[in-house]
A and B are shown apart, each in its own frame.
Chain A
Amino acid sequence: MASTPVALSGAERQRRLELRELLNAKYVFIDRTWDAVFWITAIFIVAGAADITKLLFAGDWDFWTDWKDPQWWPVVTAFATIIIPSALQYIQWVAWRFPTGATYTCCCLFLATWIGRFFQWHVAESYPMNFVWPISTVPAGIILDWILMKTRSFILTSLIGGGAWAILVWAFNYIPLAPYLQPAQFMHHVLTVSDVQGIAYIRSQTPEYLRHIERGALRSFLGETQYVSLLFGGTLAAVGYWVGQFIGRYLAVWPIRRYIKTL
């Protein structure tokens, strides 16, 4: 909920009234121009940072339908995708009190990955889009921003939002994945449709054994592998959130502050 300052001293009340006037002040030359320049140019940088981070940590788990498995996919993608949204969330909240950092990053990433997959993997490499579609993190970004807006706390956002992020990234993308998990007949075996895609659309340098399908002993959890994975994913996402906070605080904002102070 929106906080309401209580029992303010007269001086403090006056200061806040001045801040209110400052908030509504008009700066003819840079107001809208600056906003437009910032929001549009930042798309490329933010999308690039988010995509590179995702590729570094999650790599193939976001590339192919047959890698979106119940065990590793919820763990690695949640961690990989929360880092830059967290950094942007810090920057945009502290600078402007906008609960938009995560949503903005996810929207930028959405545009970049769909354009990249279409031109690089579908047009240039001729993989069908239904095999190389990227996951969407936008709904998870919306909820992460909503949690920050409600709690006004990065600590609470990391604890609640980390878990929510892991669940939402998985749940939102599991819905379009479901058709590809139907059983099919292929090469004298019962396989999922996504397995068939992975075999049929040849990846000479991505052999099947690189997938981590059902390694480990998570089967002991009554076969509900994905829920155990989500628990791990949520924990890791909370950790990833603080990696992002570190980037936001010390790699992005701090050097700029130092630079401005030296001017």
Chain B
Amino acid sequence: MRRWLLSGILTLLVTCFSVAQAFAHGEAADEPFLKDLTVAFYNVHVSPTSITVGQPVTITGSLKILETWPYTLDPPVTAYITPVVPGPVFALVDREVNGQPAFGSITVERGGTYDFKMVMRGRNPGRWHVHPGIAIQGTGTLIGPGEWVTVSPSDTPFKLNVMLLNGTTVDLEHFGGGFVWWWSFAGFIVGLVWMIYWTVPKRTVTRLAVTSQLGANDDAPDIGLITREDHKWMNVLAAITILMLVGGWAWMAAKYPVRLPQQTDRFAPTLDTSSYHLAEVRPVGSPNNATFDEKTNTLTISLDVKNTGTQPIMLKQYSMAMATFVNGSQQELAEAGPHDFVGSLQVEPPDPIPAGQTRRVVLKMASPIFDEERLIPLHDPQQLIAGLLAVRDNVGREERVTVKSVLVPTEFQAQYLP
């Protein structure tokens, strides 16, 4: 017995003190289709990545609600673009969507592209993983690529000052907190007195023996269950409660004469409609437009790309959920987004596609992120992936075209495919 007890205590101690802090946000647990077919993030930047408490960090980037939005989810209508961080370790102080201030939720549509900018101020010292995310009603929060941000302690405590319409500035870190506690505590004290009155001088054991022989609506003052004295003191406590309420209400009405209901506003951000169309993209191959090799974490997509513009075009990026793959130099890779979520894109053949021509190309991407973030449907009800193919012409114009592909893992090929 003693051995079991000792083992139990040791297990508890080891469990308590060996648990590492969790930094992930749970996105890897989501099914691949939830990430691939819904939203693609790109051009995400988090800067600076090292601040002290109170200093700002800005998240910028773009996301597209893909036309491939799966029918298994509610259609995307209401959304909330938000930083995804481990709790309020930062305080959000500004947010814009497509250049418009957006304090609350927005309405979105399939095919819509939303450029976002969010400014946060460091609140808690530590090293935090910062992502942008979009919560979509009926779906949940879909997150973009993340960056580590180090928040160093500051000599001055964090303050979140907000200007009231009457011109007063209040610090949200503490505003009104003392009154909330003391007011609630005062009510609790009256309740405590009520309880002490009944429980300390009166015993329960003998009362049960008596009440079990009486009707439930008999308070038996003649027996002594509830006496006139009891009524008198309970009247006093009830009166104190009501007086406290009336007094508190009068004080509140005088001190805070202007009180608004909580505010809400939803708007549809203005969408940027391009005046040019650079390419038409069509997946090729039957039945598999795309394959994935689990052993090497390599995704291969076959496409027919038609240049519908007037200049030669290059295939520059493929963005899928929170990952972006870049066909370019190391500098272009570094500029494409947070390092852990950016990989190389190999295009075969690599030459620009002349205007008016259609070319069959193969995109090849190898990255551990496919596995780490569980982006690839391997044995799923929807063996589909989708992403944004960025094409750029000679004069710097860029278009992102949604590409949906049927994906068959290469491990299937030996058995089912030629």
- A interface list, Cβ under 8 A from B: 1-5, 15-16, 19-20, 22-25, 27, 30-32, 34-35, 38-39, 66, 69-70, 93-100, 103-104, 106-107, 110, 114, 125-131, 133-134, 136, 138-139, 141-143, 145-146, 149-150, 152-154, 168, 171-172, 174-176, 178-197, 199-205, 207-209, 211, 213-214, 225
- Bound complex: CA A187 to CA B177 (Å): 24
Number of interface residues of B (CB under 8 A): 107
- Bound complex: CA A120 to CA B262 (Å): 26
Interface contact A96-B249, CB-CB below 8 Å: no
- Bound complex: CA A103 to CA B188 (Å): 9
| Interface-centre pick from B95, B176, B218 (highest chain A CB count, 10 A) | B176
Distance from B252 Cβ to chain A, minimum over Cβ atoms (Å): 5
Contact partners of B237 in chain A: CB under 8 A: 142, 146
Interface contact A4-B222, CB-CB below 8 Å: yes
Contact partners of A35 in chain B: CB under 8 A: 199, 203-205
- Bound complex: CA A228 to CA B95 (Å): 35
Distance from A261 Cβ to chain B, minimum over Cβ atoms (Å): 13
Interface contact B206-A126, CB-CB below 8 Å: no
Choice from B87, B95, B220 contacting A125 with Cβ under 8 Å: B87
Contact partners of B356 in chain A: CB under 8 A: none
Encode B12-27 as 1/0 by CB contact (under 8 A) with A.
Answer: 0000000000000100
Distance from A47 Cβ to chain B, minimum over Cβ atoms (Å): 13
Choice from B179, B221, B231 contacting A179 with Cβ under 8 Å: B179
| Interface-centre pick from B85, B206, B242 (highest chain A CB count, 10 A) | B206
- B interface list, Cβ under 8 A from A: 25, 78-80, 82-85, 87-95, 101-105, 120, 123-124, 133, 135, 137, 140-141, 160, 162-166, 170, 172-177, 179-181, 183-184, 187-188, 190-192, 194-195, 198-199, 202-211, 213-214, 216-228, 230-231, 234-235, 237-238, 241-242, 244-245, 248-249, 251-252, 255-256, 258-266
Distance from A142 Cβ to chain B, minimum over Cβ atoms (Å): 5
- Bound complex: CA A34 to CA B205 (Å): 8
Contact partners of B222 in chain A: CB under 8 A: 4-5, 16, 20
Interface contact B191-A110, CB-CB below 8 Å: yes
Distance from A196 Cβ to chain B, minimum over Cβ atoms (Å): 5
CB nearest to B200 among chain A residues: A35
Distance from A146 Cβ to chain B, minimum over Cβ atoms (Å): 4
Known contacts A178-B259, A181-B259, A191-B263, A199 near B204 by CB under 8 Å: no
| Interface-centre pick from A149, A196, A197 (highest chain B CB count, 10 A) | A196
Interface contact B260-A192, CB-CB below 8 Å: yes
CB nearest to B253 among chain A residues: A178
Interface contact A133-B209, CB-CB below 8 Å: no
Distance from A123 Cβ to chain B, minimum over Cβ atoms (Å): 12
Interface contact A202-B90, CB-CB below 8 Å: yes
Interface contact B224-A95, CB-CB below 8 Å: no
Contact partners of B95 in chain A: CB under 8 A: 187, 199
Instruction: Beyond the given A133-B184, A187-B101, please list 4 additional residue pairs across the A-B interface where CB-CB is below 8 A.
Output: A130-B172, A152-B216, A204-B133, A208-B105
| Interface-centre pick from A27, A31, A96, A186 (highest chain B CB count, 10 A) | A96
Choice from B78, B103, B207, B216 contacting A199 with Cβ under 8 Å: B103
CB nearest to B105 among chain A residues: A209
Interface contact B221-A149, CB-CB below 8 Å: no
